């Protein structure tokens, strides 16, 4: 069901994004070319290239929410394009902020064209994501609904920058309490998924209150999704994830299980001491993992993930009633929770 | 008249911007603190500081356009705040892109808190400028009008990134034709002034077509304003501008008069040769200025500036009729053209 929905709508999502990220003007061809490169549509010489597209999870959730509310997904395509373009804007700027030189096995925009152009390319995609939302009005969506969608979209953009601010500020701190971490991923990951679902629902005709329930569903699922990601980063099967066992521990990444163990009264100090060692590496990994076990960090993360998943389902029931679990959104949430990479 | 209008509305513009750039949440206090620092409201320790505010030219033009269309300026305050916040977002990112370490005699945001946080602070102000426009609906502006305002605002944001792209790409080129330069400042400077006036007019009740005439007025005045800036950067009185005589020539800044002279069939090659010298400085300035004179570059710029000013007035007449020159907008345009710093 999910793969047939995706197969049906992915080409239209891609076409809508291409229509938004377009200019006829030759003088700014490189400006748009860099956007197209980031999207995986062209290579570094701006020649057409067909990279496998990303999952496009957010736009698909947007269209599903529209369908579940009885709307026509085609009408929500501008919103679907908007959330995916916004997501990609944030990746362009994140890559600069984190100093990441590759993304999806290719050099990042800043690496190829420099930080100044990359900042500006991100800004353009940011602006164009708003232009995409406004195209809703061209598809017959009433002005008041389009405006409501823009409000949700804008609040999410602000939340995204707040989450990013917190994430960057964590880098300069040795101790980050778990609740602050959850506040961070609420802004950095969950807000966008929440907005994707809420806006799709609004376009599909969700009555006031229902779009809010859909937003809460998306946010909860987004939190569960991120915690799952954190767990896979430590305990994922290397043959499936393509990353080394304990990868995020080796990178000292402040993800949920590690922060939980660091905050543990019994093992926290020991774990911190190991991580602080200049020569920390694969040899110390078993000891570090044993400390996470002793703190019960894996079970803690799993329980938290499941509670967010349950909260998400409960919000979905508030929006859809009894059919929630069997719905497209319910099945997608379930499918996401079963992934192993 | 202008100063009394400014005195009347500047405090309300400032209050509206403060209401938009605000968060009650302690965890993100530094995120908003950096925005407040850039706006000149606090110092680097986030303590209240009363720096003299900027000219606030764009928000004042927005409110004036609203008044001229018979509207209540108070209703357009959210739009006025939006254009000024957007302008300031662009300054935060420009400072990173240009590597500028000071602005208004204080360290820039990136200089104090690093490039990653500064990119993110700019992104937040970008998002919040959209939130500001949406506050129009809270002041009783109809959804369709608010949406129309958002469209103009978004198109302007895209134009801004296009202008910035062109400006940055000029740095890597030795020759830039004058028409490409004009296309650049059209995006980088004129689009925002055009949007400020058009949106103010829309909120004030401008009939379709009239807001477009107002936009053309703002754009033309914006182009004239930038060319005037270029002239002051070369021939301005150092005792008034606070900059050295011929400052922009010494900096090899690709402004209109210099590009005109470089494109001159007779003197262009000679001028290029002088500018390329590694030891180019004050000693060569008289020769360079003489070549600009020989090319007639000052007269060329003055004539172009006046033609944009005249085109602006003509657009203003299309919007306001005979009273255009005596209107707030007409007087402001005239006042801008008389400035000497």
Tell me if A120 and B164 make a contact (CB, 8 A cut-off).
yes
Torsion sign over Cα A45, A46, A50, A54: positive
A–B interface: beta-carbon pairs under 8 A: 140
Tell me if A127 and B97 make a contact (CB, 8 A cut-off).
no
Tell me if A147 and B151 make a contact (CB, 8 A cut-off).
no
Tell me if B146 and A147 make a contact (CB, 8 A cut-off).
yes
Answer whether A250's CB lies under 8 Å from A281's CB.
yes
**How high is the pLDDT of residue B170?**
94
* Chain A residues near residue B130 by CB distance under 8 angstroms: 130, 150, 154, 157
What are the phi and psi torsion angles at A102 (to 5°)?
-135, 150
Tell me if A28 and B123 make a contact (CB, 8 A cut-off).
no
Which residues 155-174 of chain B have a CB within 8 Å of chain A? 155, 157-158, 160-162, 164-166, 168-169
**Per DSSP, which regions of A29-187 are E strands?**
102-103, 106-107
| Nearest CA distance, B255 vs chain A (angstrom) | 18
| Nearest CA distance, B117 vs chain A (angstrom) | 7
How far is Cα A16 from Cα A81, in angstroms, rounded to an integer? 6
Which residues 20-39 of chain A have a CB within 8 Å of chain B? 23, 25, 27-28, 30-31
Tell me if B28 and A166 make a contact (CB, 8 A cut-off).
yes
Tell me if B165 and A31 make a contact (CB, 8 A cut-off).
yes
**Is there a shared CATH topology between the A1-166+199-204 domain and the A207-341 domain?**
yes
B216-341 CATH pick, 1.10.600.10, 3.40.50.970, 3.40.50.12780, 1.10.8.60: 1.10.600.10
| Nearest CA distance, B337 vs chain A (angstrom) | 30
Buried b (16+ CB within 10 A) or exposed e, B49-72: eeeeeeebbbbbbbbbbbbbbebe
Q: A1-166+199-204 architecture in CATH?
A: Orthogonal Bundle (1.10)
* Chain B residues near residue A126 by CB distance under 8 angstroms: 123, 126-127, 157
The residues facing B313 across adjacent strands are none
* Chain A residues near residue B168 by CB distance under 8 angstroms: 116-117, 120
Structural domain boundaries in chain B: 216-341
**How high is the pLDDT of residue A1?**
60
pTM of the model: 0.96
CA terminus-to-terminus distance, chain A: 21
**How high is the pLDDT of residue A143?**
95
What ipTM does the predicted assembly reach? 0.95
**How high is the pLDDT of residue B235?**
94
Contacts of B123 (CB under 8 A, 6+ apart): A93, A122, A126, A157, A160, A161, A164, B89
For chain B, how many helices (H) and strands (E)?
A: 17, 2
Closest Cβ–Cβ partner in A119, A131, A157 for B158: A131
Would you give per-residue pLDDT tens digits along chain B (341 residues)? 678 999 999 999 999 999 999 999 999 999 999 999 999 999 999 999 988 777 899 999 999 999 999 999 999 999 999 999 999 999 999 999 999 999 999 999 999 999 999 999 999 999 999 999 999 999 999 999 999 999 999 999 999 999 999 999 998 888 899 999 999 999 999 999 999 999 999 999 998 889 999 999 999 999 999 999 999 999 998 888 778 888 899 989 999 999 999 999 999 999 999 999 989 999 999 999 999 999 999 999 999 999 999 999 999 999 999 999 999 999 999 999 988 77
**How high is the pLDDT of residue B86?**
98
**How high is the pLDDT of residue B52?**
79
B180 in A contact zone (CB under 8 Å): yes
Q: pLDDT tens digit string along A129-157? A: 999 999 999 999 999 999 999 999 999 99
Answer whether A160's CB lies under 8 Å from A189's CB.
no
Contacts of A204 (CB under 8 A, 6+ apart): A65, A66, A67, A68, A69, A70, A71, A72, A75, A76
Q: How many residues belong to chain B?
A: 341
B139 three-state secondary structure: helix
CATH class of A207-341: mainly alpha
Distances (CA, A) of A240 to A225, A245, A340, B256, B269: 17, 11, 7, 58, 63
């Amino acid at each position: 069901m999910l793969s047939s929905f995706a197969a049906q709508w992915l080409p239209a999502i891609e076409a809508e994004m291409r229509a938004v990220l377009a200019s006829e003007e030759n003088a700014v061809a490189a400006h748009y070319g860099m956007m197209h490169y980031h999207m995986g549509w062209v290579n570094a010489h701006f020649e057409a290239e067909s990279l496998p597209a990303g999952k496009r999870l957010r736009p698909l959730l947007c269209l599903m929410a529209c369908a579940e509310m009885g709307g026509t997904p085609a009408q929500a395509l501008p919103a679907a394009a908007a959330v995916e373009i916004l997501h990609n804007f944030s990746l362009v700027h994140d890559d600069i902020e984190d100093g990441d030189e590759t993304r999806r096995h290719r050099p990042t925009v800043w690496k190829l064209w420099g930080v100044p152009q990359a900042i500006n390319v991100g800004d353009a995609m940011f602006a164009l994501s708003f232009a995409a939302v406004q195209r809703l009005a061209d598809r017959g969506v009433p002005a008041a609904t389009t405006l409501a969608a823009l409000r949700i979209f804008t609040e999410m953009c602000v939340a995204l920058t707040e989450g990013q601010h917190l994430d960057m500020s964590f880098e300069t701190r040795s101790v980050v309490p778990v609740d602050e971490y959850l506040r961070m991923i609420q802004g950095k990951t969950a807000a966008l998924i929440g907005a994707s679902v809420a806006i799709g629902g609004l376009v599909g005709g969700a009555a006031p209150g229902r779009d809010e329930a859909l937003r809460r569903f998306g946010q909860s699922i987004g939190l569960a999704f991120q915690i799952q990601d954190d767990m896979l980063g430590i305990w994922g099967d290397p043959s499936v994830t393509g990353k080394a066992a304990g990868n995020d521990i080796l990178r000292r990444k402040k993800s949920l299980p590690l922060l939980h163990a660091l905050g543990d009264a019994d093992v926290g100090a020991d774990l911190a001491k190991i991580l602080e060692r200049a020569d920390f590496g694969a040899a110390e990994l078993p000891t570090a993992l044993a400390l996470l076990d002793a703190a019960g960090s894996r079970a803690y993360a799993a329980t938290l993930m499941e509670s967010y998943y349950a909260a998400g389902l409960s919000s979905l029931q508030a929006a859809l009633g009894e059919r929630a679990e069997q719905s497209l959104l319910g099945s997608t949430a379930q499918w996401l929770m079963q992934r192993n990479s």
